[in-house]
Amino acid sequence: MAFMNTRAAAAGIAAASALALVAGTAAQASAAPVITRQGIGKLRLGMTLAAAQSAGLVGGVRPGCESYWPLPYWSRLRSPLKGFATFNGKAPTSRLRVLSISGGARTARGIDVGSTLGQVEAAYPNSRRDFARPGDPIQFFAIITPPNSRSAFWFSREGRTGPVTSINIPRVEICE
């Protein structure tokens, strides 16, 4: 009889542990910073490099793509975020112009890195697919929402049907 009570207790402990793990994972997901069309948390498009650095949101800057003028400078996002912030120069007054998030955040509709094409299109039904043609020198695959806006999410993907690899606002900057 004591053996059966021990087995029942062990099963109860295992079930409670599994529920706690699921609840902990759900709490972590809901606690992830939310990406909006204006930025992520305190990191906002248009804020100065000095403000972003003093708030501990980004690291040091490095020269960006030489195809753009003025020359942009980029900085890694600080934990818990992964990705890059692009500024319109290296002066402290330079403004944040593009964010490319590759982890640590999600949109208000629950889309994050790793989301599928179907999940993105279900969350953003008015989005459009955009991709390079075979033979184009730069290959990109994206879902853009809203489809005709300067202030948009670009969900970059691996191939035409792959998962989201980064979330970019307000656009992707491609360097040739």
Is this model's pTM higher than 0.85 or not? Answer: no
For the segment 117-162, what is each residue's pLDDT rounded down to a tens digit?
899 989 998 888 887 777 776 667 788 887 665 568 888 887 777 8
Mean residue pLDDT of the chain comes to: 80
Show Cβ contacts of residue 130 under 8 Å, excluding neighbours closer than 6 positions.
140, 141, 142, 143, 144
Tens digit of pLDDT for each residue in 8-21?
A: 444 444 444 434 43
Task: Evaluate whether 29 touches 80 at the Cβ level (below 8 Å).
Answer: no
